[in-house]
Structure 1
Amino acid sequence: MEPLFTSEQLAEIHAYHQPHYVRAAVDPLVQLGLAVLLMAVLVRPVYRGACATAAALERRFGLLRTAPVSRAFFSAMDRLWGEPGWGAAILFALFIDLATQLLYAPANVWFYYVLEHRYGMSNFTPVTFAWVWFKGTLVAALALTALVVGMYGLARRVRRWWLVLGVPVALLMLVAAAVDPYRARLYYDQTPLPEGPLRERITALMRKADISFSDVVVEKTSVTSKRVQAYFAGQGPTRTIVLNDVIVKELSEDEVLAAVAHEAGHVHEARWPGRIASSLALVALLFFIDQLLRLAARRGWWGVQRVGDIRTLPLVSFLVFLLMNLGAPVAGALSREREREADRYGLRLTGDREAFRRMLVKAARVNKMDPEPPRWLVLKGMSHPPIGERLATLDTP
């Protein structure tokens, strides 16, 4: 049987992945150090800077509070926050986020632009890279602002805020996947897959799998990346089969069908138990955050005197960091098992073992997958089994 990679290809793959492995090992320590630096040194001066900036903006643009169009917005924000002062809180959160972004910027540029270009994995130009980065930063800033106003605003005014916020958000999480097809369009253009044999075969395969869908689209990711990709977005009436333009170009129809069949396996997963567990975990997390906010107020950390003081944000971030790192090995193990089952389902659906193997081999070559990544990295929380393991399982009668 033809080897997965030649020795030259394997050497290049190892050289490409080695920096990523180093970063995976070092990054938790960097995040831990940054959290300690923020909480031990930077909270007070950054908070003073946020208050001073908010006061300066108030003096400069304070007339907006009484202007006919904007005063309703300011009044609503004051009610949500419980009093004036939400501007300083938002600025504090954004300043902390900006400091983190600037700290990581050199590494992110090197990993996601320089290294990707060095090994032929990226089609980014400096302009498109900056634009995608800007859009991601803007979306993150908006999400952070919503978090500050929503979570901290409620915590300042409602004793059991974690229930008031947690229950509706948990319910939204149960149906959030329905908006996935629209969220992806923030970053890439999508067009319907043209009529023809491939669309007809995908439609027939989904009929065999008893999976309804609204459309098959081609996502134009080649403007930034040379990787192949296929996934299902949405659920129920919004479910969409997404093929990126690279997979349509690089794989044969049989191989694309194998990829779609694998993704169809995820549709048939028992997702509701996981979604319910995630929703309950969110409510539990908000409860623990509430206890942390109350502890900070009792102890007077950073000058905090009440629940809902924005100066506790780095402490909350540190708690989330710890929980995510502790839970990553378990989440990764569960994810890898779901991927194995999706492989088994896809193979049963197509009945074409050879096409399935070719699909995995081509995906591994185009995406430069390491067939045998370090075991510690797998156990740390990899979402997919190593490609070498997947092929070995596939080749077992």
Structure 2
Amino acid sequence: MIMSPENLLHIILAILTFNFLLGRIMQFLTAQSWKKSAIPEEVQGLYDDAKYEKSRQYHSEGGKVGLIRRSLAFFVTFAFLAFGWYGWLYVNCLAWVSGSAVGAGLLFFGILGVLSSIISLPFSLYNNFVIEAKYGFNRMTLGTFFADLGKGALLQAIIGGGLLSLLIIVFEQIGMHFWWIGWSVMALFSISMSGLYVRLFLPLFNKLTPMEDGVLKTKIEEYAKGIDFPVTKIFVMDGSKRSNKANAFFSGLGRQKTIVLYDTLIDKFDDDELLAVLAHEVGHYKRRHIPIQMVTGVLQLGLVFGLFQLVAFGYGDLIASMLNLPAINLPVALLIFGFMYSPLQLITGYLSSSLSRKFEYEADAFAKETSSGEALASALRKLSVEHLSNLNPNKFVVSMTYSHPPLWQRLRALAKN
């Protein structure tokens, strides 16, 4: 069968619908996993009846809001494709900027970004200031919420706009060599962000305070020295400014490592538990998980750009005809390719999630070897209770979307000799 613009449109709409329905199936499976009789032995008794019901209600309410938001986004996207509005929008953007490919691309994605923000804003407000507040998590003010929104939009406009402009110029001028130049640009950007995130971007949203001298700092420094982990700075971050949830991470490339602890983590965990959590994070460094994930991420970028090259230059005229455009262009090609790539993304996402869960087990084992398995298990239980986590999520949902193993599986692994 010869591919026609109509057939291509039907295929893309079918892919879009499949992705939406798959998400709803996963949501249904998650809801079914809350049957109390199915709780594994390792986490039985972690929640009393009231806490379990609170956790179930928290996830149920969040799921309902998410369903409405995703349904609205699906129908808007479906309509934009079915009625050719993406093509109409780009043609008008091109006219508004007097034929500039870069200007049209920036305006095109800018308008779509604003539309997406308008759709998601009421749901974000409701999620933060109704659901998260109801269950004791939200500490964010409206001022902080909108300040974050503004800063995020500004960064996206500056960085995203700059990258998009560069890619459009390369696409228009270089043509068939676009894929490897675009791949190189995005790979370099991705690697650079790993080293610059804490130094440049995180301080725009959170206050990082050097940890004061004391027992905890001394223990951290002694632990790091004992395992030859090159810590240069230890910061406490005001995570409580936005949420009651706790976390910790380290950042940096090479031997320049920065440890960041949420203030909520310090408030709720004892020193041994904190050290065990840090030991887990250090385990990712010592087991070379970060460079492995960086390499796999760069290779996946190469796959994406290679396939995009085939679609944009092999089916560009077909895509242009489908959207009533005079010729293919990078912004529209990226958008349509994103829809077409999503089935393959299910496979790469599954592989990435599987690798990530494997690394979590290895980091847990490292923490057990160098710190305390009992303290880590205690910390994981506390985190689960504090975050109202699902104690027994559906296996299929875990395999497809979870970057961390369920709590009961991590506790079982830690309990082994």
Relative to the length of structure 1, the TM-score reads 0.84
**Pairing 1:149–2:169 present:** no
Instruction: Indicate the residue corresponding to 1:163 in structure 2.
Output: 180
Flag the 1:277–1:361 CA change in 2: closer, same or farther, 3 A. Answer: closer
**Pairing 1:8–2:50 present:** yes
Instruction: Indicate the residue corresponding to 1:335 in structure 2.
Output: 356
* 1:65-214 pair list within 5 angstroms: 84-159=100-175, 160-174=177-191, 176-182=193-199, 183-214=201-232
8 Å CA contact 2:367, 2:373 repeated in 1: no
Q: Look up the equivalent residue of 2:115 and give its one-letter code.
A: A
* 1:27-38 pair list within 5 angstroms: 33-38=75-80
Instruction: Indicate the residue corresponding to 1:249 in structure 2.
Output: 267
**CA shift for structure 1 position 238:** 3.2
Q: Deviations over 1:346-386 (max 9, x none)?
A: 01111x33322221122222222222223332122111111
Question: Identity over aligned residues, as a percent?
Answer: 21
Flag the 1:325–1:231 CA change in 2: closer, same or farther, 3 A. Answer: same
Q: Look up the equivalent residue of 1:8 and give its one-letter code.
A: A
Flag the 1:162–1:250 CA change in 2: closer, same or farther, 3 A. Answer: same
8 Å CA contact 2:140, 2:243 repeated in 1: yes
Q: Which of 347, 369, 373 is matched with 2:368 structurally?
A: 347
Cα root mean square deviation, aligned = 2.6
Q: Look up the equivalent residue of 1:43 and give its one-letter code.
A: Y
Using the alignment, how far apart are the partners of 1:396 and 1:273 within structure 2?
A: 26
Instruction: Indicate the residue corresponding to 1:50 in structure 2.
Output: 93
Q: Which of 253, 277, 282 is matched with 1:235 structurally?
A: 253
Instruction: Indicate the residue corresponding to 1:281 in structure 2.
Output: 300
Unpaired runs of 5+ residues, structure 1, are 56-82
Q: Secondary structure at the match of 1:358?
A: helix
Using the alignment, how far apart are the partners of 1:100 and 1:377 within structure 2?
A: 26
Flag the 1:234–1:34 CA change in 2: closer, same or farther, 3 A. Answer: farther
Using the alignment, how far apart are the partners of 1:310 and 1:357 within structure 2?
A: 47
Instruction: Indicate the residue corresponding to 1:263 in structure 2.
Output: 281
Flag the 1:175–1:280 CA change in 2: closer, same or farther, 3 A. Answer: same
**Pairing 1:379–2:399 present:** yes
**CA shift for structure 1 position 316:** 3.1
Using the alignment, how far apart are the partners of 1:344 and 1:26 within structure 2?
A: 40
Equivalent residues, number: 369
Flag the 1:226–1:3 CA change in 2: closer, same or farther, 3 A. Answer: same
Instruction: Indicate the residue corresponding to 2:14 in structure 1.
Output: none
Stretch moving more, 277-286 or 251-260: 277-286
Stretch moving more, 386-395 or 110-119: 386-395
Instruction: Indicate the residue corresponding to 1:293 in structure 2.
Output: 312
Relative to the length of structure 2, the TM-score reads 0.80
8 Å CA contact 1:162, 1:286 repeated in 2: yes
Using the alignment, how far apart are the partners of 1:25 and 1:106 within structure 2?
A: 14
Q: Which of 353, 366, 378 is matched with 1:358 structurally?
A: 378
Q: Look up the equivalent residue of 2:345 and give its one-letter code.
A: M
**Pairing 1:219–2:237 present:** yes
